[in-house]
Amino acid sequence: DVKVTQSSRYLVKRTGEKVFLECVQDMDHENMFWYRQDPGLGLRLIYFSYDVKMKEKGDIPEGYSVSREKKERFSLILESASTNQTSMYLCASSTPLFEQFFGPGTRLTVL
Amino acid sequence: DQQVKQNSPSLSVQEGRISILNCDYTNSMFDYFLWYKKYPAEGPTFLISISSIKDKNEDGRFTVFLNKSAKHLSLHIVPSQPGDSAVYFCAATKRKGTGNQFYFGTGTSLTVIP
């Protein structure tokens, strides 16, 4: 059974803190993605990676960075969290040609 | 710029009837289209997909139709069941580098009334 796991389901941080969101997949997928989901805006792509140490900006990369040192792990970093980064964060992985598999999401609140 | 659009934020259907969810896109370079289903507090799960070279794909109660000339796709659920109540996202992909970039719509919340 395929699996994408995210390090936390719920997270509360303070403005200005550095935040790490971790994602691990066990399917040996090349591609991994970070999205945020906000009401009325759907899923918006922050960053994606199609190989180890490779990364591509998505539609809303500002305020975020990513790290992919190993194939199975893709980390999203908020260098200095702000209240407008309060959101549901979803990680996904896929093969180059097929559908994505999503993790359960991390609900991040920035106070 | 939203390249994939779902213009109906919500839809209510009686149990046993047909649910039709619609999706429009603007980019003719998309080569694959997908529907995802999302329950609250869970990640989206893949439901059904269709290649741009086809116009219909069926999987049990779920059928996706693609009209390339109109840049429109739809998901039909027949018969609808209360367990189908969820948010449905339409997505499209195109190649970027050696991978695929996915573009999602804003979602349609389906409520199936028992």
For B94, list phi and psi in degrees, rounded to 5.
Answer: -145, 160
Which chain A residues are within 8 Å of B89, Cβ to Cβ? 42-43
pLDDT at A41 (0 to 100):
86
E-strand stretches of chain B: 4-5, 10-14, 19-25, 32-38, 45-51, 56-59, 62-67, 72-77, 86-96, 99-104, 108-113
Compute the distance between CA of residue B94 and CA of residue A51 in angstroms, rounded to an integer.
Answer: 17
User: For residue B99, is pLDDT > 80?
Assistant: no
pLDDT per residue as tens digits for the range B28-68: 999 899 999 999 888 999 999 999 999 999 999 999 999 99
Q: A interface mutation test: which of B7, B102, B103, B109 has the most A CBs within 10 A?
A: B102
pLDDT per residue as tens digits for the range B6-25: 999 999 999 999 999 999 99
pLDDT per residue as tens digits for the range A3-31: 899 989 999 999 999 999 999 999 898 88
| Residue contact B100–A31, C-beta within 8 A | yes
Residue in chain A nearest B4 by alpha carbon: A42
pLDDT at B111 (0 to 100):
97
pLDDT at A97 (0 to 100):
62
Q: What's the sign of the alpha-carbon dihedral A79, A17, A4, B109?
A: negative
H/E stretch holding A69 = strand A64-70
Tokens of A106: 């991390």
Question: CB–CB of B73/B65 below 8 Å?
Answer: yes
pLDDT per residue as tens digits for the range A30-87: 889 999 999 888 899 999 998 898 898 988 999 999 999 999 999 999 999 999 999 9
